[in-house]
Chains A and B, each alone.
Chain A
Amino acid sequence: MIQTVGLSKKYGSKFAVNDVSINVAPGSVYGLVGPNGAGKTTILGILAGLREATSGSFDLGVPASRVAVLPDTPQFEPWLTAREVIQLGKQLTAPDSPLDRIDEVLSDAGLADVAEQRVGGFSRGMLQRLGLAATVVGDPEVLLLDEPSSALDPSGRRDVLDLVGQLRGKATVMFSSHILGDVQEVCDAVGIVQDGRLLYEGSIEGLLVGKAGLTYQVRVRSGTEAVVSGLSGLSWVESAQSPSPGLVRVIVTDPAAAETALVPMLATMDVPVISITPQTADLEDVFLELTT
């Protein structure tokens, strides 16, 4: 269980983190989401013991030796081999664990073939995977991952997200990201941060509930204006607008009423309807709604 209570960090007169209270369930993957400069790295830095909170408290639920941290762009001494990096990580965190563990994490990270190569020649994706391997080699109970999939190509992102997903149930993972698709894909819960403040915390489903189905996209071959004027003013319609010819976006206040009345209403207008599509909100929509 990761818990912070009223966590704040001030640089001069500016709050980098402002009264943030976070609760992360044991064994879950928690996404800390926010734009650049929102305070994500500062929060992780405080939890990692690399920075001191100005006020507030936190509890990681495990000793510091059971916590592992991965910075956003892992770098290692270029003259070390990948195996030596993992060996060092193991020696510092779990010296008594079996040596097989080194080969296991190298294999899981897809680095078995380059284990004896010096990391100075590694791509950023390989370094990110190596960093994650060096982070998990000690079987930590809490992992703090700062933007683990940032700036990776699709293949690299896929690998890292798979590795993070595999940690679910084995460790409590908090990972920061501004890539909402990654968070939506791999996280059980999410905390949205902006300007150092926590705007939302909870499950992704909870965040999206009530958002799905509120907007309909109606495509017509002609008669766009008729649809807009016909739907505007109805009690269950908040607004009906046409962003482009042939397309009407209808925001409804009562989804149940819309499901019953929208199709009959369109039928009365005598316009050729191509499609009626309920537009589901995704994390990006909600994120933008919360942060703008």
Chain B
Amino acid sequence: MNLWKLEWLRMTRSSKGIALVGVFVFFGIIGPLSAAYIGEILEQFGGGIEITFPEPTAADGITQYVGNVQQIGLLVLVMIAAGALTMESRYEMAVFLRTRVRNARQLLAPRFVVVAAFGVVAYAVGLLVAWYETAVLIESPDVGAMAAIFALGATYLIFAVAVVAFAGTHLKKVLPSVMLTLGILLIVPIFGLFPPVAEWLPSHLLGSSNDLLRGGEVADYWRSFVVTVGMTFVLLAASVRGLGRREL
């Protein structure tokens, strides 16, 4: 038993990991399904009114999935991550661990990596389900675009977990950590209202799936990718520093 296995058990024994993957898979099923049958679904509630939609495309199916996981999926990931990364939420356990590790990094690394890995795996599994279903119900999406969508989406999720780590090492309770994280994630896109800034922000990655599947260039996202990776490292460094300095 070590700190890495402890975090693995946190995700598996407490069903958090299964719940996380389950949510992403659910949206992987629902996203393309709703994109493919949106016309029929709305007609059922239309009272005889005929609604004509354009033929669904692969971009519709995948974007529907990505859009859902960027909202509800991300919220679930943030809540699960806050449970693991809010170090002082269980004071006695925090005392037990902090007085037995050499430094804050030793304590933070397994929690961050395991939660982020579960988030990325859940996103990947959901994306694969959405890909398969889109291919069956609509059309096959471009492989290169799908690889980029996975990479950029995973980068944003890892960034979000880093925000949780920052909040969790500076606040004592899980709920405030969740609220601070969501606040940061919601405020960052506001800066995107200034066009020159928008493509540098992590939130720019969120719109990549639709654009890439409609012929957009991956190169349009390198700036926000670099900034997101950089901010992830900065947040983690601040988290380690904050945890190390924080009194219990």
Q: Which residues of A come within 8 Å of B, CB atoms?
A: 45, 48-52, 65, 67-69, 71, 73-77, 79-80, 84, 87-89, 91-93, 131, 134, 138
Q: Do A79 and B100 touch across chains, with their CB atoms under 8 A apart?
A: no
User: In the docked arrangement, what's the CA distance between A284 and B79, Å?
Assistant: 49
Q: Which residues of B come within 8 Å of A, CB atoms?
A: 1-3, 6, 9-10, 13-14, 90-93, 95-102, 247-248
Q: Write the chain A residue with the least CB distance to B12.
A: A79
**Residue in B9, B13, B91, B99 whose beta carbon sits within 8 Å of that of A48 in the complex:** B99
Pairs across A and B, CB under 8 Å, 26 listed: A48-B99, A49-B99, A50-B95, A51-B247, A51-B248, A65-B102, A67-B99, A69-B95, A69-B96, A71-B91, A71-B92, A71-B95, A74-B96, A75-B90, A75-B92, A76-B92, A76-B93, A77-B9, A77-B93, A80-B9, A87-B1, A88-B1, A89-B100, A91-B1, A91-B2, A131-B96
Q: Do A74 and B92 touch across chains, with their CB atoms under 8 A apart?
A: yes
Shortest C-beta distance, B96 to chain A (Å), equals 7
B99 cross-chain contacts in A, Cβ below 8 A: 48-50, 67-69
A77 with B95: in contact, given A51-B248, A87-B1, A93-B100 (CB under 8 Å)?
no
A50 cross-chain contacts in B, Cβ below 8 A: 95, 98-99, 247-248
Max chain B C-beta neighbours (<10 A), residue from A52, A76, A138:
A76
A92 with B101: in contact, given A75-B92, A77-B93 (CB under 8 Å)?
yes
**Residue in A45, A65, A76, A79 whose beta carbon sits within 8 Å of that of B13 in the complex:** A79
Q: Do A84 and B247 touch across chains, with their CB atoms under 8 A apart?
A: no
A91 cross-chain contacts in B, Cβ below 8 A: 1-2
**Residue in A65, A77, A138 whose beta carbon sits within 8 Å of that of B6 in the complex:** A77
Shortest C-beta distance, A149 to chain B (Å), equals 16
Max chain A C-beta neighbours (<10 A), residue from B6, B92, B95, B96:
B96
Q: A69-B96, A73-B92 are in contact. List 6 more A-B contacts (CB 8 A).
A: A51-B247, A71-B92, A75-B92, A77-B6, A89-B96, A89-B100
User: In the docked arrangement, what's the CA distance between A76 and B13, Å?
Assistant: 14
Q: Do B247 and A52 touch across chains, with their CB atoms under 8 A apart?
A: yes
A92 with B247: in contact, given A71-B92, A79-B13 (CB under 8 Å)?
no
Shortest C-beta distance, A55 to chain B (Å), equals 15
User: In the docked arrangement, what's the CA distance between A92 and B92, Å?
Assistant: 16
